[in-house]
Structure 1
């Protein structure tokens, strides 16, 4: 994960009471347009994911582990974008990016928790697909309601204690007089760039946490799909192979988008690193991917489309 090591030249330490998020103030003529675009995106994310949550709760045909995790994932997406997008909309509206020290710490803390939770839930969804395709006869026994609830609880709570300590370490560090971040929310790299002195401990913690909550889930998902694809290819009929692959293709697309964009932003070479570009790259995994998810899971999933059609038809009649 690309962070700033030591700040040079050294500046005097100071007690900061607020940060300034530069956001998109470098394009002042587009502030109104950007506000409208991001508002529409936020409304779409809220409506799209809310519909998925509702239909997975009310439609009997979707009372399966796969859709239990999909409902959790959709709720997570609403929380995930709500950490950054409303703040961005407010900053665009008032054309000011001032954020208090405490508010910045809280925003970063919840962003990191929810981003890690997304990694864990995607891993749980991959495990569900692995059991369904590789052990279909044992699937109802293994993926019982108790295990599903336990997995969801682990996904939602694991990152909470990790980032209490991590956030405390960052925000208890001495900061320099410069308090401007060329970003639209409080993320780790732009905040660490404002820390005075040696940031070696923060960097080590960052890599350790990344290995635990990003790399490990990604490798588990990768291993699951190696097994899944191997099993699918051994199926005797082309129809069976197509049906099996269709049940996990949506999840595979979301995994590719989420982890792929994160790797591009945080693990690309230093020679291509640019603080200004990070701001625009991060739009992809913080805002655009949550837009794609409802589309991917609805348009590529016949069961969801049928359930959505019945739900909309019922409310149209009423």
Structure 2
């Protein structure tokens, strides 16, 4: 049966700074049976989908058992979106994850000018434990502030980690950024579904491919790949020595006496090592990818800090790092 051209597919864009919880929210939506979604993400390495849910995976697109698909944005947002629209498959909703340092509105604009799409909402996640500090940070404050300018809904995440005074402070800070915006306090286990389309954009803006792909010109990436393992105590000291310009670090991390590499998640000075989730096998002993401000020190200086924590340091060439770094992307 041919679908009427008047039927528009709703689009929701999810934004938020590095570590705000976008991946956790996407996983909640993907595991829901409430709709058939097409989800466009920056990289599969950051979306840990249960292996049992994946029906097929060709490297660019995951077909999921619940009828959803999850596509890597890869070389360009517009190219990936075009493939979804040209495929002819009908979806209840298209969900797009903006880069952690990008402006979600620049992506949302395409739904205003593409006749087959309807902008449903721009949802921005804010880490309640960090949002006040991030906004006061001269290096990233403007970037974070800009993500809220067109938000329709703010999910204030990780509120269970704070007392009521701190949560209220974070909430009032967000409300001051975007007066009148709906703010929902959430935990990892109480994330809401998608809004029902009650939000409406205030105006229309033209979107260009250049606008949608140039989100990270003020940020630098760093890849670190080694064989061997870290001494845990020495690694903790190394993390303290990393410069404040490093905003995020993530990837496979082998620790001495551990049978398998663990998943490292580091945001600011907060870090944790956990078991690799189902569906994310570690192919290397140590493979970390970081993102920092444009003032991030030279990679050799960063490498030296972590090298000091290695038990059995082994040199790896730049070509090795470039070949392997696709396993994890922030």
- TM above 0.5, yes or no, is no
TM normalised by structure 2 equals 0.20
Q: If each structure's helix is expressed as a fraction of its own residues, which one has the higher value?
A: 1
Larger Rg: 1
